[in-house]
Amino acid sequence: MTDTPVEESLFQIIHCYHEYAAREGDVETLSLEELKALLTDNVPRFMETLGRKEPYYITQLFQAADKNQDNQICFEEFLYILGKLVKDYHLQYHQQLCAHYCTQHSLY
Amino acid sequence: MTDTPVEESLFQIIHCYHEYAAREGDVETLSLEELKALLTDNVPRFMETLGRKEPYYITQLFQAADKNQDNQICFEEFLYILGKLVKDYHLQYHQQLCAHYCTQHSLY
């Protein structure tokens, strides 16, 4: 069975998680450094557009996601961060649509 | 700024949600029929591999996600379904890796 574009997207996100989790320590979880690298490299809009580039933001995000407080983000905990990412990109998606509509209809 | 593959994946998932939400009724939310069509067309592995093809499964999933019980799935509520999808594909990702490893090392 060939993957659909949505399935490819889901695998892409999961693959990214594992690529960074494997960098050091436990290969199945993200350390704070691994999370920082993952977000900086892969979702720069999330990091830059919303002015969240400050180191303390990632630390706060890490702590909020680390439900069992073992100082690592497991895949279940990564879903919390993914939820934030998707909400964020949803907002940006609408902003892009709006800008596109305004350009098309010469509203600027 | 060019989108990274992960950003493209996030936009792909969001675009898919809106494509189906726009089909009938409220263009910002998914009806049960729209959710069924979205899942059947875009995540057939989720629907088939795990034997969840039965109509009642989607109805149960819809009801569980519809937190405010307005009989529509808004984007916030879609995040609940997305969480289930990502968990499911994470499991399949590991099964594929395992099968790949076993083939490489002639373990079958």
CB atoms inside a 10 Å sphere around CB A40: 14
pLDDT given for residue A46 in this prediction: 86
Q: Domain A5-105 in CATH: superfamily?
A: EF-hand (1.10.238.10)
Chain B: nearest CA to A51, how far in angstroms? 15
For B65-89, write each residue's pLDDT tens digit: 999 999 999 999 999 999 999 998 9
Q: Do A86 and B4 touch (CB under 8 A)?
A: no
B12 touches chain A (CB under 8 A): yes
For residue B79, list chain A residues with Cβ-Cβ distance below 8 A: 83, 86-87
For residue B8, list chain A residues with Cβ-Cβ distance below 8 A: 9, 12
Which structure tokens are listed for A8?
A: 């490819």
| The model's pTM | 0.87
Closest to A92 (Cα-Cα) out of A38, A56, A43, A54:
A43
Which structure tokens are listed for A80?
A: 């919390």
Q: Which of A2, A10, A53 to mutate to test the interface with B (most CBs of B within 10 A)?
A: A10
- CB-based contacts of A45: which residues, under 8 Å, 6+ apart? A88, A89, A92, B1, B3, B7
Averaged pLDDT, B42-68: 85
Percent of chain A with pLDDT over 70: 94
Paired with A94 in beta bridges are none
For A19-57, write each residue's pLDDT tens digit: 999 999 999 999 999 999 999 999 998 888 666 667 788
- For residues A72, B11, B28, B40, the Cα torsion angle rounded to the nearest 10 degrees is -90
B-contacting residues of A 52-81, CB under 8 Å?
Answer: 75-76, 79
CA distance linking residue B102 with residue B104, whole number of Å: 5
CA distance linking residue A34 with residue B26, whole number of Å: 41
- Domain ranges for chain A, please list them: 5-105
Q: Find, in chain B, the residue whose alpha carbon is nearest to that of A83.
A: B79
User: What is the band of B30 on the pLDDT scale with cuts at 50, 70, 90?
Assistant: very high
Instruction: List Cβ<8 Å contacts ≥24 apart for A48-56.
Output: A48/B1, A49/A92, A50/A88
